[in-house]
Structure 1
Amino acid sequence: MSRTSRGTRSREQRQQQIVDYVLDRGSASAAELADLVGVSLMTVHRDLDELARRGLLRKFHGGVSAQPSTVFEGSSEYRMGANRELKEAIARAALEFVEPGSSILLDDSTTALTLARSLGGVGPLTVATNYLPTIEVLKGFSEVHLICLGGNYSATHDSFLGLPCIEAVGALSVDMAFVSTSAMNASMTFHQEHELVQVKRAMLAAASTNVLLMDSSKMPRKALHRMAPLRDYDRLVVDDGADRELLAAASEAIEVTVAPTE
């Protein structure tokens, strides 16, 4: 192996170690990471610049974070590890609305991914999605007719986005869409990134019934972009840790299902 190849592998291994550490703890300082991987502070800052450019971490003064903010969603890898118990409760409740023989859209949320893992036992279904991890799950289910919604691949979100994806969604007319987003209050849903907002809006327009999947950590909160008013959805599925006053206000606009956590 050449010296260049060894150096590239060493940098990749170091950066993966940094990502794993920050995902586990939520955030870390640059000095802390330099000690962790045994390189200079300058080298760590170069690594953090690259990881931030790839959308895997969010850089702030003195360190990095994997946690979402009002303008940064967080990588797919981070979202997969967050609030798993709440997402599983929501997925169990949402599964009750899926009928054999129906067609559904699943967005690139990890909550919809959790629902996808249960679809193999429902019966014949047609499922369309732009999320690569969901595609990987569904391709193994013999009774699921899978439609992969292509577009511009985003490594940060591990999904397909952009105009090609929006056009692919627009060509469909499905029974039900299951979508999630980063934040909501009693009247509006929000997301940090405009490109994802456009795809999710297209999904809402393509479905006869829209189901919003939201864990209690996302409410009440706001993000940079308004996505859709709550009245544009037909049902909200939340876990039992959600704010009661918010749910009471939301129930004036849509049906609300509260999923018990185990």
Structure 2
Amino acid sequence: MSADSGEAARRPVRRQAEIAAYVVEHGTATAHELVEAFGVSLMTVHRDLDALERQGVVRKYRGGVSAQPTSVFESNVAYRLNTAQAQKQALARRARELVEPGMSVMLDDSTTALALVPMLEDVRPLTVATNFLPAISLLTAMPDTQLIVLGGIYSPTHDSFGGVPCAEAVEALQTDLLFCSVSAVSGTHAYHQEQEIVLVKRAMLRAARTRVLLIDNAKLRRTALHRLAPLTGFDLVLVDDQAPADGIAALREHGAAVEVVAV
């Protein structure tokens, strides 16, 4: 795929994320408002809204859409791909330094771990296991990389595989490294908004010798429903330097091994 065709393929995803953000900000929007706001045809707007409704981000009604709850919106992969990009790149660059040829690496379905994938191209040989379809697509093109696809129940909202079948596939492995992220972090624990995602992430934590948590600063200001694991259960917590100093101090106060990464 050429750079131009790759950019063209990503354009609808970015536009849909921007439309979703617009709807969340305003609460509701009509299709004609979105035509004016984004400079596209009415047919394109309806296609984008259909895609966002399938992903659970918006609810369509006659002539317009309304936003789903914020927690649902923040789970959506189209939204996550377009947030905190500089922070995710910085965290991924530091994570890349931990990977050596011959290792086995597990990646969860976070867009933070996804940022690491292109940086692995020159690490050969390498074994990578993941349940995240965008990561799988990138890894299939990498030479000398053994890809283990962690299958299960496909979720369009997350663009990944999950459920009990995925957790069982994870539990059959033991990898050198795990890179993962979460919805929110307190001083003592990592949390995620969705129970079915927690099921797979916990299996990943059990299946890795070294567990690395990647969190951008926004995760320190959020809350989420389900407790995933204590921060002391991670061997290393990487957080970007835009996180508040008191938030970082709280993580360290409770024993987490925290490293601050410059953006």
1:73-125 deviation per Cα after TM superposition (whole angstroms, max 9, x unaligned) = 33111110111011001101111111211111000000100011100112211
Aligned length: 239
Letter in 1 for 2:19: V
Identity %: 46
What's the C-alpha RMSD, in Å, of the aligned pairs? 2.9
Helix, strand or coil at the partner of 2:116: helix
State the Cα distance separating 1:259 from its structure 2 match. 1.2
**Which residue of 1 is the match for residue 202 of structure 2?**
201
**Which residue of 2 is the match for residue 25 of structure 1?**
22
Gaps of 5+ in 2: 1-11, 37-44
Distance 1:173 1:31 in 2: 48
Normalised by the length of structure 2, the TM-score is: 0.81
Which protein shows a greater Rg?
Answer: 1
**Which residue of 1 is the match for residue 170 of structure 2?**
169
Helix, strand or coil at the partner of 1:198: helix
**1:8-87 paired onto structure 2 within 5 Å:** 19=16, 21-23=18-20, 25=22, 27=24, 28-37=26-35, 54-59=54-59, 64-65=66-67, 69-70=70-71, 73-87=74-88
* Consecutive aligned runs of 4 or more in structure 1 exceeding 3 Å deviation: 15-21, 23-26, 28-38, 50-53, 62-66, 68-73
Helix, strand or coil at the partner of 1:121: coil
| Contact kept in structure 1, 2:128 and 2:147, CA below 8 Å | yes
Distance 1:96 1:162 in 2: 31
**Which residue of 2 is the match for residue 232 of structure 1?**
233
Letter in 1 for 2:33: D
**Which residue of 2 is the match for residue 259 of structure 1?**
261
Please say which of residues 91-100 and 166-175 is displaced more in the overlay: 91-100
Gaps of 5+ in 1: 1-14, 39-43
Helix, strand or coil at the partner of 1:181: coil
| Contact kept in structure 1, 2:23 and 2:65, CA below 8 Å | no
**1:135-214 paired onto structure 2 within 5 Å:** 135-214=136-215
Letter in 2 for 1:25: Y
Helix, strand or coil at the partner of 1:81: coil
CA change 1:18–1:139 in 2 (3 A) is closer
State the Cα distance separating 1:53 from its structure 2 match. 5.3
**Which residue of 2 is the match for residue 11 of structure 1?**
none
Normalised by the length of structure 1, the TM-score is: 0.81
CA change 1:16–1:125 in 2 (3 A) is closer
State the Cα distance separating 1:58 from its structure 2 match. 4.3
Please say which of residues 15-24 and 97-106 is displaced more in the overlay: 15-24
CA change 1:101–1:223 in 2 (3 A) is same
